[in-house]
Amino acid sequence: MKKIAFCGASGNGISPLEQIMIKKGCEVYGSDLSFDEGRDQDRKEALQKVGLHIIPQNGSGITPDMEALYVSSIINEENPDVKAARKYGIPIKKRSDLLCELFSQYDKGIAVGGTAGKTTTTAMIGYILDTLGHRPCMINGGMLCNYQNNPGMPNYLYYDDSRYCVIEADESDGSIQKYRPYIGIINNISHDHTSMEKLIEYFTNFAAHVQHALIINKDCPVGSKITAPAAQTLSFSMKDPAADFYASNIRAVKDGVEYELDGRTFRLGIIGTFNVANALSAIAACTAAGVDKFEAAKALEGFTGVKVRLEKIGTSAKDITVYNDFAHNPGKLAASISALKEHPGRVIAMYQPHTPFSVINTRAEMAPALVSVLGQDDILVMQEIYELTPKDTISSNDVVEDVKKLGHEKAVFFKTRVPLKEFILQNARPGDRIVIMGAHDNSLADFSRELLSLL
């Protein structure tokens, strides 16, 4: 039996791979600093239930008989597990190396790329194929609500006889260039983790590796210009009827969206008209894989979303609805707030940036994006940057001041969460929609549930 280890076991990128390797019969070990510190215990228990052996992240669990140590991109050479693996001569590989290795084993690999919508689109494709009996393997960066009662963490699907493998291909570290997909998707390209020049280079290289069909968003000025030399190109659009997959008469309905595809009406059970673009992308990919497009669209009506992607936590007795969302760049923040604005009620948008670099990198676009979607009565609440250190000179308050300078006065800053929570509780009123936004801090989900219980 192959014995392997993972460093960063609770991560959204690592955890589906751990679970799939267990399914494949490997003896799998995993460490995570959050487990050592008593955090993320629900994830720890879920992974243990499906057979992951939890080890402390101090190097003691790394043994000479392990064949590989897989690490996420944030793990560095000073990590105790990495040092132990080096001592024993154990190969240290990136998460993306294993993902690429698994992906290459399938006839019909579908890789979903784009700076926004990857997780939801990947989930949609996996759900469509699974619902229609195609038994896909799916490796995702988010938890699928449709599979939340499955054992373990619901961010993957695995059948040992599948021909299909659907993955979320990450552009932030350039690893998207590693894959050789049967079908490739470029949902969009916008300024996020790295420069536009680098992003265009990454996606161009990705498209060059596509074998059968490249799916592009005709509404994206940058992404729509990328071509696949060895594959056909299929387009989708919410604006251009000439696209291969065009949605018309898009309208927000209670807890969802309706749209028309070639004269037939379909419904999504998740809010946000922008999700119609994700749906079109998923339908196009499934059609390119051999599925009837109307069957794909009909199957998608049962899709209930991905956790922390505008996930509805609930509505209080006072008619105040709370959402949790992974939004963390100007475009995603604006899209999420816009989705809430499609429905009645004031919006209270709380955002906690993840890193100082993310604020510095997107500051010029952040305030204009927020002000463009916030209504006069809407409130922006910002907490201090999650990974701020004493040497950093940037602050969430800088964004708040930028927003005020552009004319939106209802913007407030808090260093810590307790006074922030009290502010929201004191200011929330019936009919409000509260959204808690931010990335890579699992406590935000707990905070959204706590808020709902107190409203």
pLDDT digits over 34-85, tens only?
Answer: 999 998 899 999 999 999 999 999 999 999 999 999 998 888 899 999 999 9
Q: Give yes or no for a contact between 260 and 240, defined as CB atoms under 8 angstroms apart.
A: no
Write out the E strands in 154-270: 156-157, 164-168, 183-186, 213-217, 232-237, 245-253, 256-261, 264-268
Whether pLDDT at 108 is above 90: yes
Write out the E strands in 218-342: 232-237, 245-253, 256-261, 264-268, 311-315, 321-325
CA–CA separation, 224 and 214 (whole Å): 11
Tens digit of pLDDT for each residue in 336-360? 999 999 988 999 999 999 999 889 8
| Average pLDDT over every residue of 206-234 | 93
CA–CA separation, 394 and 356 (whole Å): 6
Tens digit of pLDDT for each residue in 401-448? 999 999 999 999 999 999 999 999 999 999 999 999 998 888 899 999
Q: Quick one: pLDDT band at residue 309, thresholds 50, 70, 90?
A: confident
- How many secondary structure helices (H) and strands (E) does the chain include? 14, 21
CA–CA separation, 86 and 133 (whole Å): 44
pLDDT score recorded for residue 220:
93
Q: If we measure between CA atoms, which residue out of 199, 249, 205 comes closest to residue 227?
A: 205
Strand pairing report for 68-71 and 92-94 = parallel
Residues paired with residue 247 on neighbouring β-strands, in sequence order = 261
Element (H, E) at 68: strand 68-71
Whether pLDDT at 231 is above 90: no
pLDDT score recorded for residue 174:
83
Tens digit of pLDDT for each residue in 239-250? 999 999 999 999
Whether pLDDT at 193 is above 70: no
- DSSP state for residue 142 in the 8-state scheme: S
CA–CA separation, 109 and 153 (whole Å): 22
Whether pLDDT at 197 is above 70: yes
CA–CA separation, 384 and 161 (whole Å): 48
Whether pLDDT at 328 is above 90: no
| Average pLDDT over every residue of 111-134 | 96
Q: Give yes or no for a contact between 396 and 383, defined as CB atoms under 8 angstroms apart.
A: yes
First to last CA, the chain: 52
Q: Quick one: pLDDT band at residue 365, thresholds 50, 70, 90?
A: very high
Average pLDDT, the chain: 94
Q: Quick one: pLDDT band at residue 308, thresholds 50, 70, 90?
A: confident
Q: Give yes or no for a contact between 54 and 30, defined as CB atoms under 8 angstroms apart.
A: yes
pLDDT score recorded for residue 192:
65
What are the φ and ψ backbone dihedral angles of 138, each rounded to 5 degrees? -140, 135
Q: Give yes or no for a contact between 346 and 375, defined as CB atoms under 8 angstroms apart.
A: yes
Residue 305's CB is within 10 A of a number of other CB atoms, namely 24
- Sequence-separated (6 or more) residues with CB below 8 Å from residue 123: 138, 140, 142, 144, 303, 305, 306
Tens digit of pLDDT for each residue in 141-185? 899 999 999 999 999 999 999 999 999 998 888 889 999 999 999
- DSSP state for residue 384 in the 8-state scheme: P
C-alpha gyration radius of the chain: 22
In this prediction the pTM is 0.89
Whether pLDDT at 255 is above 90: no
HSE-CB for 279 with a 13 A CA cutoff: 35
CA–CA separation, 13 and 295 (whole Å): 30
Whether pLDDT at 194 is above 80: no
pLDDT score recorded for residue 170:
87
What are the φ and ψ backbone dihedral angles of 245, each rounded to 5 degrees? -130, 105
Q: Measured at the alpha carbon of residue 213, what is the angle toward residues 308 and 332, in degrees to the nearest 5?
A: 25
Residues in the chain: 455
Domains and CATH numbers, the chain: 3-93 (3.40.50.720), 104-302 (3.40.1190.10), 311-454 (3.90.190.20)
